[in-house]
């Protein structure tokens, strides 16, 4: 979803700071899309990393108008596996919440500071922050306790944050997409992917990332 968003912005003429882990293909995507897309290796849970990305945005482009949160991770495990007599690993639960919820909030809180430096437009707006939750926030499935909790938290914090930042002209919105053909789902067996696609009322397929963007 993040790559599709970067591509959409770039094709629209926007100047973009692409943030992803150092192990990602971010540098390759940046080269592919041209000089208006700058890659910065970022772990969204790191204050130093996000701060560096914002510094690059200011140095290269002078301002920040839009921040889109797309970083995410998931783990599929039941609360307790009675066959193996194993409980859900607490560290796995914590990791998902740290990336999906804490990481999202980290980007929001730091981006707001730079956006707040913008001169407001005619409507008084200085910028917009877009977060990515999931339909799992409302309709979590078996084995999704950690993921659903993390995305439910993103939904839950959207309104209070929007109210916090509204007085400074910064809008905050959250999208809760359904099942999309992302690397996260591509890691699943084909049979599982086919089953998931059939759960979509119409059209019965996984969403294309470009549709999210």
Q: What's the pLDDT band for 68 if we cut at 50, 70, 90?
A: very high
Residue entry with tokens 């549709």: 211
Which helix (DSSP H) or strand (DSSP E) does residue 154 occupy? helix 145-166
- Return the domain boundaries, the chain: 64-204
Question: 118 is written with which tokens?
Answer: 């913008």
Concerning whether 147 is annotated as a catalytic residue, the answer is yes
The mean pLDDT of 4-31, rounded to a whole number, is 95
Catalytically annotated residue among 138, 147, 208, 212: 147
Question: Tens of pLDDT along 102-146?
Answer: 999 999 999 999 999 999 999 999 999 999 999 999 998 889 999
Tell me what pLDDT residue 119 has.
98
Question: Tens of pLDDT along 147-182?
Answer: 999 999 999 999 999 999 999 999 999 999 988 888
Question: Tens of pLDDT along 25-56?
Answer: 999 999 999 889 999 999 999 999 999 999 99
Tell me what pLDDT residue 183 has.
76
Residues 127, 111: Cα–Cα separation, whole Å? 10
- Give percent above pLDDT 70 in the chain: 100
Tell me what pLDDT residue 201 has.
87
- CATH code that applies to domain 64-204: 3.40.50.720
Q: What's the pLDDT band for 194 if we cut at 50, 70, 90?
A: confident
Radius of gyration, alpha carbons of the chain: 18
pTM beyond 0.75: yes
Which helix (DSSP H) or strand (DSSP E) does residue 197 occupy? helix 190-198
């Amino acid at each position: 979803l993040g790559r599709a968003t970067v591509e959409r912005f770039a094709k629209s003429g926007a100047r973009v700071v692409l943030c992803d882990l150092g192990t990602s293909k971010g540098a390759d995507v940046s080269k592919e899309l041209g000089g208006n897309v700058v890659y910065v290796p970022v772990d969204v849970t790191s204050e130093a990393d996000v701060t560096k990305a914002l510094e690059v945005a200011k140095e290269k482009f002078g301002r920040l108008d839009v921040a889109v949160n797309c970083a995410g991770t998931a783990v599929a495990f039941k609360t307790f596996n009675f066959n193996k007599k194993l409980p859900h690993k607490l560290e796995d639960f914590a990791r998902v919440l740290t990336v999906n919820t804490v990481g999202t909030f980290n980007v929001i809180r730091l981006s707001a500071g730079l956006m707040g430096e913008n001169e407001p437009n005619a409507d008084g707006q200085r910028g917009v922050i877009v977060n990515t939750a999931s339909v799992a926030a409302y309709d979590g499935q078996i084995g999704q306790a950690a993921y659903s909790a993390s995305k439910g938290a993103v939904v839950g914090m959207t309104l209070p944050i929007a109210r916090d930042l509204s007085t400074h002209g910064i809008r905050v919105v959250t999208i809760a997409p359904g099942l999309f053909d992302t690397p996260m789902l591509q890691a699943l067996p084909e049979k599982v992917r086919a089953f998931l696609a059939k759960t979509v009322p119409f059209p019965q397929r996984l969403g294309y990332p470009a549709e999210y963007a």
